[in-house]
Amino acid sequence: MKIKELDFSENPLILAPMAGVSDVGFRNLASYFGADATVTEMLSARAMKHNPKKTAFMTLTTDAEKIKIAQIFGHESQFMADAVKSPLLEKFDSFDINMGCPAPKIVKNGEGSALMDDIVLASKIITAVKNSTTKPVSVKFRKGRECENYLEFARMCEDSGADFVTFHARTVAQGYSGKADYEAIASVKAKLKIPVIGNGDVVDEASYKLMKQTGVDGVMIGRGSMGKPWLFAQLKEEKVNFNKFDVVKKHIDILREHFEENWLKLYIRKHLLWYATDLPMSASIRLKLATCDDIDACLTILKEAFSQES
Ligand SMILES: Cc1cc2nc3c(=O)[nH]c(=O)nc-3n(C[C@H](O)[C@H](O)[C@H](O)COP(=O)(O)O)c2cc1C
């Protein structure tokens, strides 16, 4: 798949933007295991202007990332247009506009998925961002909020100049529950000329196969890769030799280059718990990790646990 100057592989896999999860270390690992593109956590266009320091740590990248996409959110077209010109985002290859976030604190500001109820403003924002950059611009949206208007919304994205779209086929009310609607994904794919990235519930080979049957041009993966960045290699059927402990250690080493230990030990715990999910005796290992207050001691617990996996 080629989108302007972005050269994805034939069946591109993209790491989803996940606030509090898609950090620089995790994006590095996903890329190492074959993700063609990675997306930052959502970045507030307003914060980028008024408090760029708050955003800076989310825009860290490493050279391992192949196609680097920054996701922005906001409801003011001028802030959104300015955001993609921010020096913080200079190193990114493409920009994604968040029009799907269901979080109440985002929606009440008329941002994220609230824009699905205001198609005129959504279009204005896409046009403003497009006019502000020569790099490819995409939109990520859901099935709808007040009504399931995803087909009309998808068409609007295309007509407003989006270079591609990512469709998470759940309504806002669903949050992350229920099943992603792959028929809806197929219908969006059938309706648009621009590439469509399908998103929702791809966690293994079987779900990946179902998603590909919708005809999408690429697949975005979020939760399925938590604690399992090697999922990208498995889905690409690429043989990558790796040791799980080295993967976790690398995640931490990258974050240690940028963050203070006291912050990191609180932040990294959820990732460590995810890394321990499928282990034998997972419950007792997770309990030990949850009560361990030192990153190196947590690493020792995981090293021992991984060594007992066969
Ligand atoms: C913890 C978490 C944080 C998320 N943050 C974002 C975000 O910042 N921007 C966004 O567009 N979607 C966000 N999402 C939604 C995911 O990108 C994705 O659309 C959703 O999880 C469905 O894909 P999956 O089934 O592969 O996880 C988030 C999801 C989770 C679980």
- Strands 67-73 and 196-199, how do they pair? unpaired
pLDDT of residue 151: 98
pLDDT of 233 reads: 97
What whole-number distance in Å separates Cα of residue 66 and Cα of residue 62? 9
Ligand 1 pocket (Cβ < 6 Å) reads 16-21, 41-42, 71, 98, 100-101, 140, 168, 176, 199-202, 221-224
Looking at residue 51, what is its pLDDT? 87
- Select 2-235's CATH number: 3.30.70.3420, 3.20.20.70, 2.40.110.10, 3.40.50.720: 3.20.20.70
Ligand 1 centre and the CA of 254: distance in Å? 22
What confidence score (pLDDT) does residue 122 get? 98
Mean pLDDT by 10 residues, the chain (310 residues): 92 97 98 98 96 91 98 98 97 98 97 98 98 98 95 98 98 96 98 98 98 98 98 94 96 97 97 95 95 97 91
Return the pLDDT at 280. Answer: 87
Calculate how far, in angstroms, residue 272's C-alpha sits from the geometric centre of ligand 1.
19
pLDDT given for residue 243 in this prediction: 95
CB 294: neighbour CB atoms within 10 A? 10
Distance CA 91, CA 72 (A): 15
User: What is residue 309's predicted lDDT score, i.e. its pLDDT?
Assistant: 86
Ligand 1, closest atom to CA 42? Answer: 8
What pLDDT does residue 310 have? Answer: 65
Q: What element of type H or E holds 187?
A: helix 182-191
Q: Which of 223, 225, 235, 271 to mutate to test the pocket of ligand 1 (most atoms within 8 A of CB)?
A: 223
223, 212 Cβ separation under 8 angstroms? no
List Cβ neighbours of 158 (8 Å cut-off, separation of 6 or more). Answer: 165, 192, 193, 194
Catalytic, 101? Answer yes
DSSP symbol at 278: T
Measure 278 CA to ligand 1 centroid, in angstroms: 21
The closest residue, in CA terms, to atom 18 on ligand 1 is 222
Q: If you measure from the C-alpha of residue 297 to the centroid of ligand 1, how many angstroms do you get, rounded to a whole number? A: 30
